[in-house]
Structure 1
């Protein structure tokens, strides 16, 4: 079965974006092979905010070279034909994607989307790249909710000071 992998950059104090959604604080490290990272996926799931931010930045989801699913109850699918808009029951759609053949599925950004799929028991791995910066506020890695145990799988430190951490999601939420 395919795995759903939440792969995201975060500040040391746990924010995936600044207070206004900015990400200019993310350090670029030339030793990180993004091509290698992207090759493990053939599908990406993202929330509406991440998708709209990508569009505002002048980027096309086609650049990712993957099937793109966007969780949104407000976007009109006719206006966004390059992606699949999932207007209801995202967990059912993701469960179906996981059962289909293919590479792993990248859950890109969006703490709220992550929280919903985590609580539905669908996230298999969490890959967090900790950027050496303190933002002091912004969009949190994950909104408040119940706790989930994680099992350490791997870590890697890059010359820029980025620390990449990989965890497997536990099967039972912590109390």
Structure 2
């Protein structure tokens, strides 16, 4: 979300894990094959500013594969990336966490940093981090698209209350929503 580059003095407050994701109106983050070509292009979104609001990106293996496929255009090149995977081989510039991603993310949150952590995807990883009580904010760019099937925003699990922080309607029809997790 564009309002979310909250900076704070190092050590002044705990850094947050923010699930920042594009989804269809019916709650899917990808089509059944993992595709995302349904995401609406909106030139008013400042992606450079968005990425600059984070210093760490956490994702699952499938999401990392999508980012790697972008080659030189991958916006995460040179960024700190943590990938939860039991099968991914270690690769330069990426930390692979095979077991205990919840412990690893809790340690990331405890680090002194002025920037937050982007939970980049996917659904199963987000579900496990929600279940562990580690997600602080959900930032959804809701696309004016109905997929009717695909990979859900979250897998089935416990109910989680949220509190609206901000909302913005873009001319493209995208609804930018930010919610804090209520504990």
TM-score (norm 1): 0.92
1:105 equivalent in structure 2: 117
1:45 paired with 2:58, answer: yes
* Cα drift, residue 19 of structure 1: 1.0
* Cα drift, residue 35 of structure 1: 1.4
After superposition, the CA RMSD in angstroms is 1.4
Structure 2 residue corresponding to 1:84, chosen from 95, 103, 115: 95
Q: 1:62 to 1:23 in 2, by over 3 A?
A: closer
Partner Cα separation in structure 1 for residue 40 and residue 52 of structure 2? 22
TM-score (norm 2): 0.88
Q: 1:59 to 1:169 in 2, by over 3 A?
A: farther
Partner Cα separation in structure 1 for residue 74 and residue 39 of structure 2? 20
1:123 paired with 2:135, answer: yes
Q: Contact between 1:43 and 1:66, CA under 8 Å: does it hold in 2? A: yes
> Where does the alignment leave 5 or more consecutive residues of structure 1 unmatched?
none
> Where does the alignment leave 5 or more consecutive residues of structure 2 unmatched?
1-13
Q: Contact between 2:19 and 2:139, CA under 8 Å: does it hold in 1? A: yes
Length, aligned pairs only: 169
